[in-house]
Amino acid sequence: MTVIKEVSVEEGKTNNPQASDKENVKDEKAYSEETSKFIEQTSLDKMHEIAEAARLKKLMEPPKWVLPED
């Protein structure tokens, strides 16, 4: 069995998992704060609208085929 890990390197970011541990903790904290703020400021009806728009967008996308490698 082959495990494939997709890695994306953003401009200006380090591609060293050990060097970026502290950065990851800071990013997680910022993400949590941003998420909490969104939940507090957004009505449930608006969240439903956002989810429905995302669902419809996904339904309109063409199918993505993943072919196994030999």
Q: pTM of this prediction?
A: 0.50
User: Which residue did the predictor score with more confidence, 24 or 62?
Assistant: 62
Rounded distance between C-alpha atoms, residue 53 and residue 60, angstroms: 11
Q: What is the pLDDT of residues 5-51, one digit of tens each?
A: 444 555 555 555 555 666 777 788 889 999 999 999 999 999 999 99
- pLDDT, residue 17, reads 55
